[in-house]
Structure 1
Amino acid sequence: MSLLIKGARVVTAADDYIADVYVADDTVTTIGAQLDIPADQVIDAAGCYLLPGGVDPHTHLGFDQGSTITSDDYATGTVAAAFGGTTTVVNFAQQRRGQHLRAAIDDGLAAAQGKAVIDYAQHIVITDLAAGSLDQIDELAAEGVTSIKMFMAYPGQLMVDDATMFQVLERAGQVGSLCCIHAENGPVIDVLVRRALAEGRTNPSWHGRTRPELAEAEATHRAIALAEMAESPVYFVHLSCAEALDQVTGARDRGRPVFAETCPHYLFLDSSVYDDESFDTAKYVLTPPLRPARHQADLWRGLRTDDLQVVSTDHCPFCLNGQKTIGANDFSMIPNGGPGIEHRLQLLYSGGVVAGHVSLRRMVDVFATTPARLFGMYPRKGTIAVGSDADFVVFDPNGSTTISAATHHMNVDYSLYEGWRLTGAVRTVVAAGRAIVDNGVFVGKHGAGRYIARDASGQP
């Protein structure tokens, strides 16, 4: 199978130029001006950007949260990702207490088998440092699982203690794996939650009110200290507030290998949604919660100055009806998470590039290039270069996108951005050299997505 993309404005994190791109099978083989090479398929991309396929390093497809499982599995979630220009996801494989880490990864791979329409990799979520677990980190790293997730929140469910975190950070650093930290002071938050419930504060608005910024900042500071003692890099997921960003910025200013991501919902939504006392607010029960609007300027500044390196989605969808309603009488029982895998690119372009917050090349960097680099997939993923995977987005800057639960492809009954009209539209998405979305129509194949065994973290 060969493919020729004609007349595109090729935009990567490093370059911006007009060219034709030729693909043989699943690999870019030639880039040049006005290529005259026979091809099985030709895409006229004149007037459009040709971007590297997005890499989303934070997705929860088929994730078991105890009371329920996320509403998107690999089949529906990767189709939605493709419509948003994402061609690679790194999903979470969660260790059950006492489970061998390899068994958890095997469970994750089985969940993707025959379903994924785009390429995928796995993080391992460590919840229990059972006998031999440290050696299992070595084994997984040698097999291409080079990232580890740990929670500082949800005591008794997912949270690990500081001793466990330190030991895992230390071993991960020795084998080239990157630890991803959910930084919130879980025990203190539990006290605040119990206090609110005892006072009869049961509606969803209290989710945000019981998870203060300082609980995130304190945990971020503590994890940075543990990583420094362990002489290991560390990566913070879904950073939401200026106080936590200050901790990351200070560590980076000292030369520490500290990295962080934020998410579109923290860039575009704010805590005013919690002013609504109705159950509809359950849509915004996600963790960390949405913050006051003042934090958004700091997050955009962090993206511009490289104190924040990645924009992921933290796609963790639960339907409002039938899943979020588990917590109808107790906000602490509402499954935490929100949908977002489908619209990361459109939001970043319209609300970031067009609005003047970031440049076009910087958008590509945080959308595709740096996540590929940090998680051991660059330059196979995250760029457009000879030898790279043929994963592309033909993006029309003159088009428009309207977001609605009635038309999106995520398997969830609401949108966080209902009715938003955005500048720019995904026209065609190519994964492994084949179009999988073409002019708003899915033309891919379930099971075509490949598992990616990754190299050691390629820290900038």
Structure 2
Amino acid sequence: MADLIVAHGLVVNGNRSTAAHVVIDDGRITALVDARQPVPAAGRVIDAAGRIVLPGGVDGHCHVAQITGPYRTLDDYALTTSAALRGGTTTILDFGIPRDAAETPLAAVEHKMELARQARCDVALHAAVISWDPTVPDQLERLAALGVRSVKLYMTNRGTTMADDDTVLKVMREMARLDGLTYVHAEHDAIVVDCTHARAAAGEIGIEHLHRTRPELAEEASVREVLAMAEYAGAPVYFVHQSTPGAVDLVTAARARGLAVHSETCPHYLVLDDTVYTGRIPERFACCPPMRSPETVAALRARFAAGAVDTIASDHSCYDLTQKREHRDDIRLMPHGLPGVETRLPVAFTALTDALGSCTEPVVLQRFADLFAAAPARVNAIPGKGVIAAGYDADLVVLDPTETRIVLGADLHMGTDFSPFEGMRLRGWPRVVVAAGRIVLDDNGFHDPGPVGRYLPRLGYRDRRPLARERS
């Protein structure tokens, strides 16, 4: 007898949909049985008739308990991973970013590994390098041995997390040698700094002017430079939170000429535009890159719907309004980042299905399953994730694709006092979530599984190729 069966649902993977009973035993999927057949015996059966069953989400870009300068996000692993599960995400990837010049990249990751012992869902990690020294190659080798196969580099944020061009190129070479992946925050620092200084001189440095200090050109100029360095170093690159169609097009063109490059965007860049900075609470939208013009958002959403973007990630950063309002009159001093790990599924699902004109067509659902789960697992080389198939981890989300709810920040669970999506009506809310074979969300509410999340070592970038083939 199986432990659990999710019966009669439309099982949606990245390239195929089938009506099936999902059989789960000992935390793994053991079989998919044609839904026309009787439901096998099980300790518990969840009836998913009339609903879709997606792979548990993989959020490749989260910041948990992050310290940047004088600010610390207000969450911990117990809180953020519980919110992730409520939102249908069963695996997160966090960053070990050095808190100051005294902390090494290896120590930053080891610190996060210790904190992650309280995680309720599975966790993988990225490293980050800010400055180069002779110990970095050995640290990167030791990180790779721990299964940390990616390093983040910031092209901006001078004085805190920014890496200079020499460091960027050296890290790319090391990551190519170690079969790793370079994550990049691409904004041209000189353009951002000069533009910010000009706005400050004009007295336009409050939050309502954020979008004018970090222009689209700064992002696209940085993407061009990073692509040139990646091509020179022979390094695979993943661009985080791309917010313009021009940035996505640069990645698409580079991939067409043979570079190993990937494009990520975030839900807020698909549904919010820069008019939010003229609203009543503009500090709710303080993030970098900022929101873009309505025309840019429409064009980015078209690229997203057409398949030019590889993954959708939350870029979750849990500050509250008190922290953001401390320096709302000077964006150079305020913390940037938005809470979003719990709302990634409904915001992205609504954006994609609105753009493609259907929330029930199999091809649309398959595209979403790839963006939400399969592609993040594949690109980041995480075995056992992102696919509903025998042998994979039993991570599932059951939802009614036509059901809508209104976002109320007070009803969310991310440890902050706002949501950038407050008041929006969205589709794609999880009704049932299964993580590692445990039912953590159903009609009776959230069932805290305790600190059962596992740390997930990852494969090398080239070693991920079998995952790229197994998409059904």
Q: CA deviation at 1:176?
A: 1.5
Structure 2 residue aligned with 1:207: 210
Partner of 2:176: 173
Counterpart-to-counterpart distance in 1, 2:197 and 2:111: 34
Give the partner amino acid of 2:292: R
Offset at residue 425 of structure 1 (A): 2.7
2:274 aligned residue: 271
Deviations 1:225-258 (A, max 9, x none): 0000001111100000122223212212212111
Asked if 1:29 is matched to 2:34, the reply is no
Contact 1:82 1:429 in 2 (8 A): yes
How high is the TM-score relative to the length of structure 2?
Answer: 0.93
Q: Is 1:381 matched up with 2:382?
A: no
Residue in structure 1 matched with residue 256 of structure 2 by the alignment: 253
Matching residue of 2:148 = 145
Q: Secondary structure at the match of 2:93?
A: strand
Match for residue 327 of structure 1? Answer: 327
Q: Cα offset for 1:363?
A: 0.6
When residues 66 and 31 of structure 1 are mapped into structure 2, their CA distance, relative to the original with a 3 A threshold, is same
Moved more, 4-13 or 433-442: 433-442
Amino acid at match of 2:108: A
Partner SS for 1:294 = helix
1:203 positional shift = 1.6
Q: Separation in 1 of the partners of 2:76 and 2:171?
A: 29
1:74-93 equivalences in 2 (<5 Å): 74-93=77-96
Seen in structure 2, the aligned counterparts of structure 1 residues 36 and 275 have a Cα distance that, compared at 3 Å, is closer
Choose the corresponding residue for 1:360, options 365, 384, 403.
Answer: 365
* Mapped pair 1:428 → 2:432: yes
Superposed displacement of residue 17, structure 1: 0.8
Deviates more, 1:310-319 or 1:298-307: 298-307
Q: Which amino acid aligns with 2:373?
A: A
Correspondence 1:104 to 2:108: yes
Q: C-alpha distance in 1, partners of 2:186/2:355? A: 30
Specify the code of the residue in structure 2 equivalent to 1:392. L
Distance (whole Å) between structure 1 residues aligned to residue 419 and residue 139 of structure 2? 39
CA shift for structure 1 position 98: 4.7
Deviation at 1:369, TM superposition (A): 0.4
1:67 maps to which residue? Answer: 70
Q: Distance in 2 between matches of 1:214 and 1:144?
A: 35
In the alignment, the residues of structure 2 paired with residue 56 and residue 98 of structure 1 have an alpha-carbon distance, to the nearest angstrom, of 29
What is the Cα deviation at residue 316 of structure 1? 1.1
Q: Does the alignment pair 1:289 with 2:294?
A: no
Provide the residue aligned with 1:10 in structure 2. Answer: 11
Alpha-carbon distance between aligned partners in 1 of 2:72 and 2:232, rounded to the nearest angstrom:
36
TM-fit CA distance, 1:165: 0.6
Partner of 1:19: 20
Give the C-alpha shift of residue 45 in structure 1.
0.9
2:45 is paired with a residue whose SS is strand
Check whether the contact 2:305–2:355 (CA below 8 A) recurs between aligned residues.
no
Task: Report how far residue 202 of structure 1 moved.
Answer: 3.1
SS in 2 for 1:21: strand
Give the superposition deviation at 1:137.
1.1
Deviation at 1:156, TM superposition (A): 1.3
Distance of 1:192 and 1:8 partners within structure 2: 52
In structure 2, C-alpha distance between the alignment counterparts of 1:301 and 1:200, rounded to whole Å: 36
Residues 151-205 of structure 1: CA deviation (Å, up to 9, x unaligned): 0010111111111111111111121211100000123212222232232223201
- Name the SS for the 2:317 alignment partner: coil
Contact 2:68 2:160 in 1 (8 A): no
Query: Offset at 1:381?
Result: 0.2
For 2:360, the equivalent position in structure 1 comes to: none
Aligned residues: 455
Q: 2:239 aligns with which of 236, 250, 270?
A: 236
Shift of residue 305, structure 1, vs aligned partner? 4.2
Judged with a 3 Å threshold, the aligned counterparts in structure 2 of structure 1 residues 43 and 173 are, in CA distance, closer, same or farther, namely: same
The one of 449, 453, 458 equivalent to 1:449 is 453
Give, as a single letter, the amino acid of the residue that structure 2 aligns with 1:205: E
> In structure 2, what is the equivalent of residue 437 of structure 1?
441
Matches within 5 A, 1:152-163: 152-163=155-166
The 2-side partners of 1:262 and 1:171 are apart by 26
Q: Tell me how far 1:351 sits from its aligned partner.
A: 2.7
Instruction: Say whether residues 1:44 and 2:47 are aligned partners.
Output: yes
CA distance in 2, matches of 1:348, 1:440: 25
TM-score by length of 1: 0.95
Aligned residues of 1:204 and 1:281 also touching (Cα < 8 A): yes
Cα 1:54/1:440, change in 2 over 3 Å: farther
Q: Indicate yes or no: 2:345 matched with 1:341.
A: no
Inter-partner Cα distance in structure 2 for 1:329 and 1:309: 36
After TM superposition, where is structure 1 displaced by more than 6 Å over at least 4 residues in a row? none
C-alpha separation in 2, matches of 1:413 and 1:99: 31
User: Hey, what's the Cα distance between the residues in 2 that align with 1:306 and 1:142?
Assistant: 34
1:391 is the counterpart of 2:392:
no
**For residue 198 of structure 2, what is the aligned residue in structure 1?**
195
Percent of aligned positions with the same letter in both sequences?
A: 37
- Structure 1 unaligned spans of 5+: none
Describe the shift of the 1:101–1:86 C-alpha distance in structure 2 as closer, same or farther (beyond 3 A). Answer: same
Give the conservation status (yes or no) of the 8 Å contact 1:262–1:299: no
Residue 139 of structure 1 deviates from its aligned partner by: 1.9
Q: Which residue of 126, 133, 154 maps to 2:129? A: 126
Q: Deviations over 1:378-410 (max 9, x none)?
A: 4x0000011000000011123222211111111
